[in-house]
Amino acid sequence: MIETNVLREKVLDLAIRGKLVPQDPNDEPSSVLLERIRAEKQRMVKDGKIKAKDIKNDTIIFKGEDNLHYEKFADGSVKCIEDEIPFDLPEGWAWSRIRDIASVKGGKRLPKGMSFSSCRTSHAYIRVTDMKNHSVNTDDLKYITEEVFLQIKNYTISKDDLYVTIAGTIGVTGEVPAELDGMNLTENAVKVTDIQINKAFLCLVLQSEFVQQQFQDKTHQVAMPKLALERILSTLIPVCSITVQSGIVSKFGEVDSLINLIGEEKEVLTEAISMTKSKILGLAIRGQLVPQDPADEPASVLLERIRAEKEELIKQGKIKRDKKESFIFRGEDNSYYLRTGELVESLEDWDFEELPDGWSVCCLGELCDYGNCTNIDTADIADSAWILDLEDIEKDSGIVLQKVRQGERNAGSTKHRFHKGQVLYSKLRPYLNKVVLADEDGYCTSEILPLEFDRNILPQYARYFLMSPAFLRYANKCSYGVKMPRLGTADGKKAIISVPPVKEQKRIIMAIELAFAKLASITEHLT
């Protein structure tokens, strides 16, 4: 799938490199613009609008006769900064520091002992959590009283400013909506104010990967990462003519709208593909995906064979009879019932009549060793062994995102052993739908159950059944635990599974795989 955030970053990179819009050689060079800004600052100092200390660290970046970049400081000293220059700029562009084109001022925390107002006031307090999508989300704004405002009134932000987060999450940048003009700013962000170039252009520059990386490199690494004001002021940025700045803002706006549209369509398509896969699985387990063949051995014969083989193993003492084993039977009233030990439950809510002739139903526990796992201490696991954790499995698809070996993972808890061909079912958060068919032996977290199915049940069919909407609904309904819901062993064993003839299982698997491959192809074409 197209990653729209990556696409946006690429366009931003083109923008700050001067490759998003054509250059006009007749435009005023940015060096003239920067010189005019410096002159204006000197005039403001002379008029008393700003203090001399506010511009004492301003510098001029230029190219020397050797074609290298140099920086001239207020005291007249010059330093070569060629190692800071990441790429060449178009003719007429120049490098600058943020301090040379704007000021940076901090926000303010609430005075000690004071708290937010319990009701809305005329003074909003903008927090980092409110700064989203390069703007300010007003859904959950906090407000302060007049008393609090009077103590921190010098720490407001204007609609003409930009914000940059400086604590925790570093470098989030955006503009302030007009309706929040003059509101208070958190101490975990700064305002970029007195901006002497196009504000929207500067906002794009600050969002670029090049500037964001500078912010990260300049961050003081302590328990709570923090970006100092002085480090922001020294950040290197490209500057072009006002005309080109406006052109970049306009063009990026057009492209960004298209990127957002792609993102929206991507979400719609992703949801449609997911729903289609779910529908396919739903049809498959009800016998509506492929045609039936009356010559196939009925599933009822298959189940009788499975039960007979189990009885023989019990008779031989190789396995023990499960006194709480669940099985389905049809009563004298022709209705279906579930027997677990001495308990009998009606299954009137299950629509068995939708199943084709030749199909049967039974409990999951009749077909596999649900919940019977072999625990292995990690000290006994070889470094080359596959260790499967829940984080390795993609939700809904069951795709293994990565294979990690014990030597790499160094897992510390007891694991379940599994074998190639077993179905690996995640009992934790069953709504995530993480079901894998093992393609090699390995070990997994105890939250995953390795299921060994009877030879008359193809593991691929079993996996698709466990991923079907019907089983998902059952698992979610029966799960216990609020924060970490799990499907218990008893409920897992008595889950109802529809069983087609073996030959039809094969046809179902082929049809599902073909349909899923076509859906995957659609996804690939968006890349």
Provide CB contacts within 8 A for 47, sequence distance 6+. none
Average pLDDT over residues 98-124: 94
Between the alpha carbon of residue 226 and those of residues 132, 164, 167, 210, 457, the distances in Å are 19, 12, 4, 19, 58
- Residue 205 above 60 pLDDT? yes
- Residue 327 above 80 pLDDT? no
Domain 103-193 maps to which CATH number in 3.20.20.70, 2.60.120.10, 1.20.210.10, 3.90.220.20? 3.90.220.20
Q: Which pLDDT score, from 0 to 100, does residue 186 have? A: 96
Q: Which pLDDT score, from 0 to 100, does residue 218 have? A: 78
Residue in this structure with the two tokens 């498959």, named with its chain if needed: 284
Q: Which pLDDT score, from 0 to 100, does residue 350 have? A: 61
**Domain spans of the chain, in order of start:** 103-193, 299-524
CB 21 within 8 A of CB 248: yes
**Percent of the chain with pLDDT strictly greater than 90:** 75
Average pLDDT, the chain: 91
CB 98 within 8 A of CB 237: yes
What digits encode the pLDDT tens for the residues 210-269?
A: 999 999 887 765 556 788 999 999 999 999 999 999 999 999 999 988 888 877 777 787
* Confidence at 390, pLDDT banded by 50, 70, 90: very high
Q: Which pLDDT score, from 0 to 100, does residue 244 have? A: 95
* Confidence at 395, pLDDT banded by 50, 70, 90: very high
Query: Is the pTM value of this prediction over 0.85?
Result: no
Fold of 299-524: Adenine-n6-DNA-methyltransferase TaqI; Chain A, domain 2 (3.90.220)
Q: Which pLDDT score, from 0 to 100, does residue 1 have? A: 42
Give the C-alpha separation, 211 to 162, whole Å.
15
Between the alpha carbon of residue 305 and those of residues 31, 302, 456, the distances in Å are 88, 5, 9
What digits encode the pLDDT tens for the residues 22-34?
A: 988 899 999 999 9
What digits encode the pLDDT tens for the residues 162-201?
A: 999 998 889 999 999 999 999 999 999 999 999 999 999 9
What digits encode the pLDDT tens for the residues 274-288?
A: 899 999 999 999 999
- Residue 145 above 80 pLDDT? yes
Between the alpha carbon of residue 82 and those of residues 19, 64, 94, 216, 400, the distances in Å are 22, 10, 13, 20, 46
Average pLDDT over residues 414-434: 96
* Long-range contact pairs involving 110-118 (C-beta distance under 8 Å, separation at least 24): 110/144, 110/148, 110/152, 111/148, 111/151, 111/152, 114/144, 114/147, 114/148, 114/151, 116/142, 116/143, 116/144, 117/142, 117/143, 117/144, 117/145, 117/148
- Residue 391 above 50 pLDDT? yes
Q: Which pLDDT score, from 0 to 100, does residue 5 have? A: 83
Higher pLDDT, 340 or 512: 512
- Residue 332 above 90 pLDDT? no
**Which of these ranges, 14-18, 52-56, 90-94, 470-474, has the smallest mean pLDDT?**
52-56
- Residue 323 above 80 pLDDT? no
Which candidate, 417, 371, 425, places its Cα nearest to that of 398? Answer: 425
Average pLDDT over residues 100-124: 94
Give the C-alpha separation, 436 to 434, whole Å.
7
